[in-house]
């Protein structure tokens, strides 16, 4: 009986979303509808499988939980919120690529709606977990990520300038028994402004550089090695080598570099809020 109600919620969400998406197509042959349904099914299927395996989904009655934002006593110091923003952004961009390829009508809007619906399924699943709960803050971060994807897709000049990335190196206390998706002490989320997208810098050595700003936390996970002054929250500003520019002749490598930050390719100044 514990899994009946949340499963009905998920099914209801799927039905409502299918109706919205179906009504949004205007082409006589409904071009791309199958792509939307398939991609949405794959995304939610993967999220559900991971949630059941790692986050004990469908084991408890649904609950709401306020997690806070970036306060010291918030969940992971807010790194999970930048993580939700990033994950939603990447998912929306990935769907957008496939929707454009398949000729889906209004691909930017449809990708954003599909990504937000998939992330809402994640939050519904979290509601049935003993660890989490449906977090309004997570949902707002998800909405921010898909909105960023939609806005950049609609404004190509800004999309050329701005990359939203994650840097990851497993934290000292992490082991394979833990959940890599929640290893926030090994993550940094950042925004990069690339010099090659600025007209005045295109033909200068500065085109190889980028300005970066981001946020990360350390010491909030139960398996983290204790820090001298307790958990830490950091804001950073730095200058880095633009890997997407260096890899501009290789489309696949350049695309990956726009979403994943390679460690040690930047220098930065970090502000620790907890000292």
- Looking at residue 50, what is its pLDDT? 82
- Looking at residue 149, what is its pLDDT? 97
For the chain, the residue count is: 275
What does the mean pLDDT of the chain come to?
84
**Which of 32-36, 151-155, 209-213 has the weakest average pLDDT?**
32-36
Cβ neighbours for 254, distance < 8 A, ≥ 6 positions apart: 244, 247, 248
The answer to whether the CB of 240 falls within 8 A of the CB of 265 is: yes
Interatomic CA distance for residues 108 and 138, integer angstroms: 22
The answer to whether the CB of 127 falls within 8 A of the CB of 6 is: yes
The answer to whether the CB of 129 falls within 8 A of the CB of 56 is: yes
**Which of 54-63, 162-171, 249-258, 259-268 has the weakest average pLDDT?**
54-63
Which string of b and e fits 216-234 if b means at least 16 CB within 10 Å? bbbbbbeebeeeeeebbbb
92 or 226, which is more confident:
92
Segment 59-80 mean pLDDT? 83
- Looking at residue 19, what is its pLDDT? 43
The answer to whether the CB of 206 falls within 8 A of the CB of 240 is: no
The domain locations on the chain are 1-154, 156-275
- Looking at residue 25, what is its pLDDT? 40
Cβ neighbours for 193, distance < 8 A, ≥ 6 positions apart: 161, 162, 210, 211, 212
- With pLDDT > 90 as the criterion, what percentage of the chain qualifies? 48
Segment 132-160 mean pLDDT? 93
Segment 43-50 mean pLDDT? 87
Interatomic CA distance for residues 21 and 39, integer angstroms: 13
Interatomic CA distance for residues 160 and 265, integer angstroms: 20
Statement: residue 186 has pLDDT above 50: yes
Which string of b and e fits 46-83 if b means at least 16 CB within 10 Å? ebbeebeeebebbebebeebebeebeeebbbbbbbbbb
- Looking at residue 22, what is its pLDDT? 42
The answer to whether the CB of 108 falls within 8 A of the CB of 150 is: yes
Q: Which residues pair with 233 in a beta bridge?
A: 217
Q: Are strands 232-241 and 260-261 parallel, antiparallel or unpaired?
A: unpaired
């Amino acid at each position: 009986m514990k899994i009946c109600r949340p499963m009905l919620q998920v099914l209801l969400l799927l039905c409502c979303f299918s109706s919205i998406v179906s009504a949004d197509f205007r082409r006589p042959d409904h071009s791309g509808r199958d792509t939307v349904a398939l991609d949405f099914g794959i995304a939610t299927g993967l999220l559900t499988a991971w949630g059941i395996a790692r986050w004990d989904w469908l084991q408890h009655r649904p609950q709401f939980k306020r997690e806070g934002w970036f306060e010291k006593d918030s969940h992971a110091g807010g790194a999970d919120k930048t993580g939700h923003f990033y994950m939603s952004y990447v998912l929306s961009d990935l769907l957008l690529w496939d929707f454009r390829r398949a000729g889906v009508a209004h691909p930017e809007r449809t990708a954003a709606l599909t990504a937000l619906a998939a992330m809402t399924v994640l939050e519904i699943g979290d509601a049935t977990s003993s660890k989490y709960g449906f977090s309004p803050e997570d949902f707002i971060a998800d909405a921010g990520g898909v909105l960023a994807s939609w806005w950049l897709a609609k404004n190509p000049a800004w999309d050329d300038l701005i990359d939203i990335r994650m840097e990851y190196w497993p934290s000292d206390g992490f082991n394979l028994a833990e959940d890599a998706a929640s290893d926030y002490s090994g993550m940094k989320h950042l925004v990069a402004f690339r010099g090659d997208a600025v007209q005045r810098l295109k033909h200068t050595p500065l085109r190889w550089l980028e300005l970066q700003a981001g946020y990360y936390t350390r010491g909030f996970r139960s398996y983290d090695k204790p820090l001298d002054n307790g958990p830490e929250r950091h804001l950073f500003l730095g200058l880095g080598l633009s890997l997407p520019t260096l890899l501009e002749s290789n489309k696949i490598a350049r695309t990956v570099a726009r979403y994943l930050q390679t460690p040690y390719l930047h220098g930065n100044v970090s502000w620790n809020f907890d000292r």
